[in-house]
Amino acid sequence: MPCNLTQSYTLGCRDSRGGIKEVLMVEQESVSTITASAGVITAITMVATKKFFKYAQEIENANFQQVITASDANFTVYYEQDLNIVVNSPSATMWNEMKLLSQNKLAIIILDNNGKYWYMGQVNGSRLQNSTGGTGTAFGDRNGITLAFKAKEPSFAQEVQSSIIAALTA
């Protein structure tokens, strides 16, 4: 049975921007329930005392992309979600926090430069895949680290209603 299409796509105004403003992260097991309607998350319930932590991003340093991977031979489809963020001038405490990020399955909410929030790794969680960084050589080089996160999901990242974010963050 075919999967019926539901809508057309038309060109709108050129008012979209790329990039990430901030990222919110918490251990995936700290999220109790998620309520969604028509592809938009309208409520997130957290385990008592747990909150998402904010990772602010400089302009044009972070990105989020989603890739559909389909196999005709296997009749399967999954969605790979990739997030790259930058931590500038890391301190000893931030290095310790990055170690904790690498040891956890994470729930990640991304705020893009269009003011929209997206939930990465909703079903299977997100994991830190690798990181690269250092001090640079010249005074103008980055002294920091790029963190790469990945999730493999049964669907695209859902949008998160902006009105619920304040109650979720530390």
| Edge-to-edge strand list for the sheet holding 144-153 | 63-71, 76-88, 144-153, 127-134
Provide the whole-model pTM. Answer: 0.91
**Cβ 82 vs Cβ 148: under 8 Å:** yes
pLDDT values of the chain reduced to their tens digit, one per residue, 170 residues: 678 888 888 778 877 889 999 999 999 999 999 999 999 999 999 999 999 999 999 999 999 999 999 999 999 999 999 999 999 988 899 889 999 999 999 999 999 999 999 999 999 999 999 888 888 899 988 899 999 999 999 999 999 999 999 999 97
Q: Where are the domains of the chain?
A: 20-168
pLDDT score for 9: 81
**β-strand pairing of 117-120 with 127-134:** unpaired
**Cβ 63 vs Cβ 81: under 8 Å:** no
> In degrees to the nearest 10, what's the CA dihedral of 88, 97, 150, 141?
20
**Cβ 6 vs Cβ 98: under 8 Å:** no
Q: What is the rounded distance in angstroms from the CA atom of residue 117 to the CA atom of residue 111?
A: 4
pLDDT score for 122: 97
Residue 122, classified by CB atoms within 10 Å of its CB into exposed (0-12), middle (13-18) or buried (19+), is buried
pLDDT score for 12: 80
Q: DSSP states of 22-78 as a string?
A: EEEEEEGGGEEEEEEETTEEEEEEEPTT--BEEEE--TTS-EEEEEEEEETTTTEEE
